Amino acid sequence: MRSVPEGEGAHPPDETAAAQAPGAAADSPPASAAAAAAEPAPPPPDDANDLRGHYFKQLIGSGKTWALILVPSVVIAAVLAAFLHPLIGAAALVGLVLLGVVIAFVIADNRAADAFFSLYAAQRDLQLGGKGPLPPLTPLLRKGDDRYAERTLSGHLGDGCDGTLALFTYEEEHTDSNGNRETNYYHYTLALTAVPECVSRVPELYCQRKFGLRALEKLEDVFRRSKQRVKLESEALDEKYEIFSAKDQDAVWLRQLFSPTFIVWLSDEAPPKFAFELVDGNLCCYVNGHKEDAADLDALRSATTSVARRLREEANE
């Protein structure tokens, strides 16, 4: 959801305090200070929704918000009532007011997300970026008719691992039999980092989540011209992942890479729906959906660091 420019969110003046005599006002704290003391600051957010109620309450309590909702609603409703029917005007008034409240909620949701990601970036010393392209380094980053990161967090991801955390979206456009165009959106949270040490050892490696029927695997492999399926002696891993490498990849080295410890980590400890792609030393680790929770983002950063460390360890032996 794209960010909406921030509008005025302050509460209207306290009329009771404003009506006090000058002498009484001198003996009492200013209205703004009293209001700030009465309403404690919200706790630091753990996810993008924590502050949504706070910002929504701010907007709904603002006189400017209601002016922006009511003035055009009343004008449009009056025109419809005069030229069509009073009931149509009344229905339009109710509908437009409800639409205005929904828009205020969307604005509050965007402000809450902005506040969460700003705090997350500051706490972890990451640089926050907005919507923009990502380099097409792996197959996931080349998918779709259009592709972009909606937010990026760049810097230190973990021990010995620098890179970019991103909320990534790619779009696919389709045209139905009636000529109507439709766009499907696919959302991922991913982490990009470089592992140049392993380029000569493993130029391509894909560890994907398994889907589809196992009986069709051999048929699918017939059509894979440049890749080969990697089979390891782990039923747990085989149930969750499909692993592919380049056709000329050293099978012995791959078996050493997928050590028993690494297999257990992938099977039992990696984040849900975790997968990764490695192409020419560019590692892209990802999970489905846009994660807007500190724990989920930290888990992906940690998982990316673990995969990069394992690749470096085996490449340097």
Q: Which of 284, 304, 308 shows the shortest CA–CA distance to 142?
A: 284
- Beta strands 275-279 and 126-129 are unpaired
Distances (CA, A) of 289 to 130, 166, 242: 18, 11, 20
The 10s digit of each residue's pLDDT in 28-76 is 445 444 444 445 556 667 877 888 888 888 888 899 999 999 999 999 9
- CA distance linking residue 107 with residue 57, whole number of Å: 11
With residue 183 as reference, give the H or E element that holds it.
strand 181-194
pLDDT: which is higher, 167 or 44: 167
Q: How far, in Å, CA of 124 to CA of 190, rounded?
A: 17
168 three-class SS: strand
User: What pLDDT does 250 receive?
Assistant: 84
- pTM of the predicted model over 0.85: no
Tell me, what's the pLDDT at 10?
38
Q: What is the pLDDT of residues 245-288, one digit of tens each?
A: 988 888 889 999 999 999 999 999 999 999 999 999 999 999 99
Residues 6+ apart with CB under 8 A from 169: 147, 148, 149, 150, 185, 186, 187, 188, 290
Q: pLDDT tens across 191-241, in order?
A: 999 999 999 899 999 999 986 544 444 444 444 566 888 888 888 898 899
* pLDDT tens per residue, range 284-307: 999 999 999 999 999 999 999 999
